[in-house]
Amino acid sequence: MVSVTKEDILAKLKTVKGPDLEGNIVDLGLVSDIFIADGKAYFSLTVPAARARELEPLREAAERAAKTVPGVTGAMVALTASREPGAGGPPPAASRPQAAPQQGAPRGQPQGRGKVEVPGVKTIIAVASGKGGVGKSTTSVNLALGLHAEGLKVGLLDADIYGPSIPRLLGISGRPEQLEGRLLKPMENYGLKVMSMGFMVEEDTPMIWRGPMVMSALNQMLREVAWGDLDVLVVDMPPGTGDAQLTMAQNVPLAGAVIVSTPQDLALIDARKGLNMFNKVNVPVLGIVENMSYFLCPDCGCRHDIFGHGGARDEAARIGVPFLGEVPLAMPIRETSDAGKPVVATAADGPHAQIYLEIARRVRNRLDEIAGTRAAPEIVFE
């Protein structure tokens, strides 16, 4: 493989004229830092907010130019909007133009201002946590499999672009197939359609993302994947309340969010931040899952509350959202996850799978409740 450097790409980008055909995009300072992984180049162009949509051809020209550099196998270029001096309010998110929303939202998929549906996907839910290490991705996988067991057509998007783990959890390897145009064919296993940045790079490749790249990567994985007809798309979010969460909340019509936390106070403090973020952007919280809720010793049968117990249940009661269930700290869950054979898919009759299946039933019931009562959301900034 030909080695490619940032300087190689910048040299080619100097052939792309700036807005109004003046200068070039590099000398005008429009190009962000360039990140290269496995031959694919990631960068953004900063343009005036008022001209973001008009300058979409500029983004396309930069992407085409980058792809012509020897050794570059692909390029992901985002437009990010600069705010005019003195302009009030937050800068709009600028990306490639999207089609206007269709009339009439599907079940569980209310339309919000500036939010564009994903073709063929009826309902999108996010699985989030305030911090890492609480078992969010394991919960996402088994929740998706639980919804599939309910007879739904389910997809799973690994939006944890900093540390994608869904490929390992589902035992999927390889690269997605390129279809006509820009579409990628999702990978599949256990009846789920799956897309992850983990399919694009090696497992041990560090992912270093700037804000605009997060927006572009998530938009591509959402809208440039041939999902087909799905009843539910489960989105495994990165931990915290950063760019990825805001991008999803502001640009995608989320039907709701599931919050995963351990029972201990430190985890619950961070979980509250996630809850508050979704509340601020008017995304309903479907409920809270208490993971690693307790440990049953396989030798003596005694129960040990290693991280405390009941904290997530109490928090759900305090803020008035459903408590979806408690998942124990259990060897079978860890072993099947590491092996790419999740318990709901490989041991559906076992006690641990039954817990996830009940959580999935409660999530589905909650979606039905919200679909019948919720008005169209608006983004609220404070």
Structure tokens given for 246 = 């805001």
By mean pLDDT, which of 210-219, 278-287, 319-328 is the weakest? 210-219
pLDDT for position 289? 93
What tens digit of pLDDT does each residue of 2-46 get? 788 999 999 999 999 998 878 999 999 898 878 776 678 878 788
What tens digit of pLDDT does each residue of 241-250 get? 666 677 677 7
Give the model's confidence band at 266: pLDDT under 50 very low, under 70 low, under 90 confident, else very high: low
pLDDT for position 38? 67
Q: Which of 95-99, 217-221, 229-233, 287-291 has the highest mean pLDDT?
A: 229-233
Percent of the chain with pLDDT over 90: 35
What tens digit of pLDDT does each residue of 85-134 get? 333 333 333 333 333 333 333 344 444 445 668 889 999 999 988 766 78
Mean pLDDT of the region 261-270: 69
pLDDT for position 360? 97
pLDDT for position 59? 87
Could you give the domains of the chain? 6-82 (3.30.300.130), 121-373 (3.40.50.300)
pLDDT for position 181? 67
